[in-house]
Amino acid sequence: MMSDRRKNVDDVQNLLQPHTGLDSERTTKLYNNWAKSYEKDLELLDYQAPQLALDFLIGNLSGNFKEVQVLDVACGSGLVAKMMFELGFRKFVGVDSSKGMLDLAAETGFYQDLRQALLGTEPLPAQTSSGGFDLVILVGGLGVGFIPVSVVRELCKAARAGGLICMAKGNHTGAAEEEYQKTLDEEVRLMEEEGLWSRVAFKQVDGYMVNPYLKTDKKEKIYISGSLYLYKKSSSV
């Protein structure tokens, strides 16, 4: 008989811990199975990444938000779009590898289009009639077993000339994550040198989320920090 005990942080960590470092395909299966309790579980992990990313973005964005065409990459259940809608954004296309997550995103009613793709294996399946998105945003998808660093170039390609690319990444520990971060740092630097984009802003933030992989006997929650990136695509690309 299943217990009616309310789920806590330890339960979410028990769900995620065995999946540390999985490849993208198996991570997709995890998210398909996780979809039903996903948003409630993120509340337990005090997932502040979307709010931190949007505060960072809005501080560097002007104009009529209603007309901004947004590509929400690794959109999940639509958490970012929900928050952006409250700020006045109205035009969204979402991409995710998980069918279960896309079903939840569709229920929000915010997206004009939703596409499924295993990023890094399949190309980013989104475009606009005008030739690119005003804003490409990726919150939480960068890391080992999630979205490969190579996809960053696709994010830039999906933006229109002069468009913005905003990325938020959790700073997890471990040798594999440190190597991933090193590769990411090198890639964004190379893209600047190649004239593909220019940095608008970068920020390190605390309180990104409760560490989903670190369990402790103590009562306090252990948070990880995050890195926020904002780039502008070159008008000549």
Identify the segments of the chain with pLDDT beneath 50.
Answer: 1-5, 18-19, 21
Domain-wise residue ranges, the chain: 9-233
Contact indicator for 170, 209 with CB cutoff of 8 Å:
yes
Q: What is the pLDDT of residue 116?
A: 93
How far is Cα 96 from Cα 219, in angstroms, rounded to an integer? Answer: 34
Phi, psi of 43 (to 5 degrees): -65, -40
pTM of the complete model beyond 0.85: yes
Q: What is the pLDDT of residue 44?
A: 86
Token pair of 218 as six digits: 């103590």
Which homologous superfamily is 9-233 in?
Vaccinia Virus protein VP39 (3.40.50.150)
Q: What is the pLDDT of residue 30?
A: 73
User: Could you tell me how many residues make up the chain?
Assistant: 237
62's CB contacts (< 8 A; 6+ apart) are: none
